[in-house]
Amino acid sequence: RTAAAHAVHNGLTQLAPCRPWLHGEKVAVGILVQLRLEEVVMGQPLAAVARDQLLRVYGKLGLPTSLAELGLRQLDAHQLEVVCRFTCREGSDLHHLPFAVTPTQLEEALRFCAQPQPAAQPVRSRSVGPAP
C-alpha cells in the first residue's frame, strides 16, 4: 500500500514550490519516504533494496527522486514542520500504515529523501513547473 506516499503528497502540496508538480511525481517521492519509514521504523532491510531499485527506475523514467527535485533545494525547519504537521494530522492516510509513525520519524525520512540519491540520475530540470 502507498498510504504514507499519498499522505506525504498531501503534505508536500502545502508548500508552494511543490504545487506545480504532478500528483504522481509527488507520490513517487512519497513512496521513497514510505520505504525509508518501513526500513527505519519497522526494521525492514528489504525496504532499502526496494528503494534503491525504484531510484534506478525513476532515473530512467525521468521521475523526481528527491525533495530537492520537487523544488525544495533548501529544505528548512519551517517547511519540514508544515509537511510533517499536515502529513501526521488526524484522518491522514499515514495512519493506515500497519505501524505508527511519529512526526520525528517522518522528519528523518523526509530529510533522508531531501537530496538526490546516488543510484538515480537527476530528473530533468523544471524552472517554471511541469510540462503540459
CA atoms within 13 A on the CB side of 90: 0
Q: What's the one-letter identity of residue 60?
A: K
C-alpha distances (whole Å) from 15 to each of 72, 75, 82, 94, 115 are: 9, 11, 8, 18, 17
pLDDT 10s digits, 82-124: 999 999 999 999 999 999 999 999 999 999 999 887 665 554 5
Among 29, 40, 36, CA closest to 7: 29
Q: Taking the domain 3-112, which CATH number applies?
A: 1.20.1090.10
Which ranges of the chain does DSSP label H, i.e. alpha helix?
3-12, 23-41, 45-61, 77-87, 103-112
pTM, full prediction: 0.87
* Cβ(20)–Cβ(72) below 8 Å: no
Domain ranges of the chain: 3-112
pLDDT 10s digits, 46-74: 999 999 999 999 999 999 999 999 999 88
